[in-house]
Amino acid sequence: MRVAVGSDHAGYELKKRALEWLTIRGVEVLDLGPVEYDAKDDYPDFARAVAESVGSGGADLGLLVCSTGVGSCIAANKVPQVRAALCHDSFSARMSREHNDANVLCLGANIVGPSLAREIVEAWLSGDFSGEKRHRRRVAKIAEMEMLLRPKQ
């Protein structure tokens, strides 16, 4: 499994910890930045990089960290084929994978501490899409909306 990871300045320290956890777990990590703390690092830039990596198949999953997780989640969900979920607890994280086939996890570094963040990441990674008919139907409706609402080029 390959996971693309990114953060803004507010999520930088938690992102570094997440990289360690993923590596220890044996996950192939694609660190899309930032590589050092810079207060000018904006979440849309890193959310786009991670989401495009997932949406294009360059990574299987993505992990984004910003101050609340909200901005990264909004930005990531603009990318086709991305289903980003903002999770502040392990139950939501697991359900986002099992029911919604979420492929990007967003965390708020100012909302969850490192210990809870690790639990959330573990729960999210251990979940798989159930493939149940009702969940496939719902995810297909999301994909249909994405296609219908995408601007014509």
- For position 28, what pLDDT does the model report? 98
Active-site option among 9, 87, 99, 106:
99
pLDDT at 149: 74
pLDDT of residue 152: 65
Enclosing domain of residue 67: 2-149
> Does 66 qualify as catalytic in the annotation?
yes
How far is C-alpha 2 from the chain's CA centre? 12
- The number of domains in the chain is 1
DSSP string, the chain: -EEEEEE-TTTHHHHHHHHHHHHHTT-EEEE-S-SS--TT--HHHHHHHHHHHHHHTS-SEEEEEESSSHHHHHHHTTSTT--EEE-SSHHHHHHHHHTT---EEEEETTTS-HHHHHHHHHHHHH------HHHHHHHHHHHHHHHHHSPP-
pLDDT of residue 151: 66
The segments of the chain whose pLDDT lies below 70 read 151-153
Whichever domain contains 114, its CATH number is 3.40.1400.10
Q: What is the pLDDT of residues 91-109, one digit of tens each?
A: 999 999 999 999 999 999 9
| 135 catalytically annotated | no
Q: Which of 9, 66, 87, 106 is catalytic?
A: 66
pLDDT of residue 150: 72
